[in-house]
Amino acid sequence: MRIRIRSCLKIPSGLRAAAKAPVGVGQTRPYRQIWADSPALTATFSLALGISPVILKQLLLPLLSGLALLVATPVYARDFGLNLGGGTLFDPTRPGGHFSLEMSLSDEYPTHLAPFFEFYSKSGTRIIPIGISLLYKPPLSEYGGTIYFGAGGGALLIRGQPTAGLATGTDGMITVAGGLSFGVGPSAGVFVQVRWFRSFEDQTAENEIGVQAGIRFYIPGD
């Protein structure tokens, strides 16, 4: 029995034509050119995600790079960590929460890919950094624990009432983070970290620095 799934999205004619174009021996289809020549494709994804076309293109590289790293490592071989906690931004103080998922990338090197989501709010202004970081997590000491640091990027969402240095909207974001984690059992631990982030598009944007802490759950791979 065959099951056919028909897409509800209309494929832009430029994309269809480029995809059907003949490809010579040793050549590949010009995917970057397909994207560049298909503004309707860009507009479709931008509208669906609520992100401007310029930001969408800037976020594609780190996103696709992270997915490539995950595909290169078998799922059963990865160790996972789930972080849940709270935090605050400084100057002014804005309380919030933190969620992140860490996935080990290698048995030889202590590298992890860490998608994260944070939410901060005060006086009607909501700051929501969403992104992905590449972390290096060597052991802290022979007695246990790890120290980690890394960098990444994503999207910075500002909602609600605009304030000085924070215009409402969605911008591309860069971030750097570092912290410590300690195990308190076979499958749980605690973490504390510091994160810096800012918009790389808005020249008037301010640097944001915050502290997050909470509980970490371990899910070991096979």
How do 80-89 and 111-122 pair as beta strands? unpaired
Unique residue bearing structure tokens 């995950």: 70
H or E element, residue 182: strand 169-183
Average pLDDT over residues 41-45: 55
pLDDT tens-digit readout, 178-199: 999 998 888 899 999 999 999 8
Cα Rg of the chain (Å, integer)? 21
Q: Please name the amino acid found at residue 190.
A: V
Is the pTM above the cut of 0.85? Answer: no
> Looking at the predicted structure, is the pLDDT value of residue 5 above 50?
no
| Spatial CA neighbour of 52 closest among 169, 158, 200 | 169
Domains (range + CATH), the chain: 13-71 (no CATH), 76-219 (2.40.160.20)
